[in-house]
A and B are shown apart, each in its own frame.
Chain A
Amino acid sequence: MPSEPLLHVENLSITFSSHGRTTQAVKSISFSVGTGEVLAVVGESGSGKSVSALSLTRLLPSPPLCNIQGSILWRGRDLQKITEEQLTQIRGKEIAYIFQDPGTSLNPVYTIGYQIAEAVKIHEPTIKDIDAVVHQSLHDVLIDDPHKVAQQYPHELSGGMQQRAMIAMALACNPKLLVADEPTTALDVTIQKEIIDLLKRLRQQRKMSILLITHNFGIVAHFADRVQVMRQGEIVESGETTTVMQNPAHPYTRGLIACIPRLGQRRRRLTTLSEEIKP
């Protein structure tokens, strides 16, 4: 771990209110991501993993619907305290996102090239030859024919190609942190492997940090430096990936790993979570 983390989140709490009811989605969690580090966040639906990632750059509804407490230190600045204009300089440029379903995250009425160019124009207004940047970024995600893909619409591409286009868009402005929220959940295993291999390569080339949200322990084991396990808005366990995977300390982590059927290890029944540790 480097001495100064890129991102340091301290006592983050997120509460949603609607119809007079309040739900605490995230309960005072703290974590950091170092430069060039891959941190995986695992947990079941409703554990607060996506919400905590979205809160980093104010992608959640504003108060009173949603209340965020705690500090989010990005390279020493508290993102909670800066103005919307200042945040725009960070969101998309320094911290970029890719989401689970590329089909619904891309705008269906604009070409891929237009959508990548849009991000570049906002964040790098001095660049003259935007087309060159667009084609280079598509080339970087191993798209064979960047000129053709730049002119295509999202519906003309397969799921795997759409996700590549999303990654190209996220990386066009050279972010320091990529938040990947279930980037391969909607994809076939062979495409999943290609996307994960691509992210591994890009991370090496650019010394970029990745906050990887997933529920797939297989991907965590092959990709993440550290992992934290969330349950009901709390981090129940965190540590080096190999330590957590081989010697999970918390009963919930142990239970979750035991639930997963594994190839070549056929059992008569699958293990389920016991009542005490169920979320």
Chain B
Amino acid sequence: MPYPENLLTVKNLSVHYPSRSGWFWQKKEPKRAVNDISFTVPRGKTVGLVGESGSGKSTTGKAIIKLSPLTSGQIFYQETEIGKLDGAAFQPWRKKIQMIFQDPYNSLNPRSDVLGILSEPLEIHFPSMTNAERTERCVDLLNSVKLPADYLRRYPHEFSGGQRQRIGIARALAVQPELIICDEPVSALDVSVQAEVVNLLQDLQEQLGLTYLFIAHDLAVVEHVSDEILVMSQGKIVEAGNPTSVLTNPQHPYTQKLLSAVPRF
């Protein structure tokens, strides 16, 4: 049984995609994007997931909120096995688990103003809210990501990358989640903006007691934010542990190779 202090427990998770090619679309060996991985995310902590493109780190994040199909394995949210819930049965957990995406340019609806973007999750998960309450909540959300309230009537194209990422964070916070899956949240940002967004995520964690699964390829950023780090390569977790010890004394050859490639100054 999973321990209750672990908000998320992943056991032997595998995600395989079928692949077909050649004559008559013959079935080939499936692509093993995630191959039998297990880890836990303790409440109030940040677990960092690093690896190169194609290592399966994003697929892992998506599998947790059912954006990727599960091939085998179990996913527990506290004591509930959410991996086998489907459709409406999973709905209450969509409120507890939210996601922030890498690309703040493509993850916001260009035809909707900020009020619309932030209200949509509220309409779904808090249907009893009145319009006035919703607007008030949206203003609070903008405040919490340090954006002025008069941005409510503006559209995504009017904002810089950093401001859009803040709106993405505000949208994730709208439904008062406990766990946020951050998929490369700062990779598309300039270093100065990256620092501001990382600090904001850490402030929000302290204020709201949030738990993060932080997926990124930048080892220094992951070391900075994480309480625990998982290194993924070819669908498997090859190394796990305290970020400073993993990154100063890597045991697995893949982690060693990854670290030696980082240009330092």
Q: Which residues of A contact B (CB under 8 A)?
A: 44-45, 159, 188-190, 192-193, 196, 215-222, 245, 255-256, 259-264, 266-267, 269-273, 278
Contact = CB atoms under 8 A, between A and B. Distances in A.
A188 B244 CA distance: 21
Given A263-B223, A264-B247, A271-B195, A222 B190 contact: no
Contacts of B202: 269
Contacts of A272: 192, 195-196, 199
Main secondary structure of the interface of B (DSSP, over half): helix
Given A189-B52, A256-B191, A262 B264 contact: yes
Contacts of A189: 52, 217, 219, 258, 261-262
A264 B202 CA distance: 19
Give 5 closest A-B pairs by Cβ, nearest first.
A218-B263, A221-B265, A270-B195, A193-B261, A188-B52
B261 A192 contact: yes
Given A189-B52, A193-B263, A256-B191, A261 B258 contact: no
B37 interface: no
A250 to B, nearest CB: 14
B31 to A, nearest CB: 15
Contact of A261 (B192, B196, B224, B244): B224
B220 A263 contact: yes
B199 A269 contact: yes
Nearest to A257: B265
A259 B195 contact: yes
Contact of B190 (A44, A159, A217, A263): A44
B61 to A, nearest CB: 18
A196 B248 CA distance: 24
Interface of B: 52-53, 161, 190-196, 198-199, 202, 217-221, 223-224, 243-244, 247-248, 257-265
Contacts, number: 92
Given A45-B161, A188-B217, A189-B52, A263 B191 contact: no
B263 A259 contact: no
Nearest to B189: A45
Contact of A266 (B194, B195, B223, B263): B223
A190 B220 contact: no
B192 A221 contact: no
6 contacts: A189-B262, A192-B261, A221-B263, A255-B192, A263-B220, A271-B195
A159 B52 CA distance: 12
A271 B161 CA distance: 19
Contacts of B223: 261, 263-264, 266
Contact of B219 (A255, A263, A278): A263
A218 B257 contact: no
Given A215-B191, A270-B224, A272-B192, A190 B52 contact: yes
A218 B219 CA distance: 13
Contacts of A273: 192, 195
B220 A260 contact: yes
B172 to A, nearest CB: 20
Contact of A215 (B161, B190, B217, B224): B190
Contacts of A266: 223-224, 243-244
A245 B219 contact: no
B262 A216 contact: no
Contacts of A278: 192
Nearest to A277: B192
Nearest to A193: B261
Contacts of B161: 45
Given A261-B220, A261-B224, A196 B263 contact: yes
Nearest to B193: A44
Nearest to B265: A221
A200 to B, nearest CB: 12
A263 B263 contact: no
B24 to A, nearest CB: 22
B243 to A, nearest CB: 8
Tell which of B161, B220, B247 has the most Cβ of chain A within 10 Å: B220
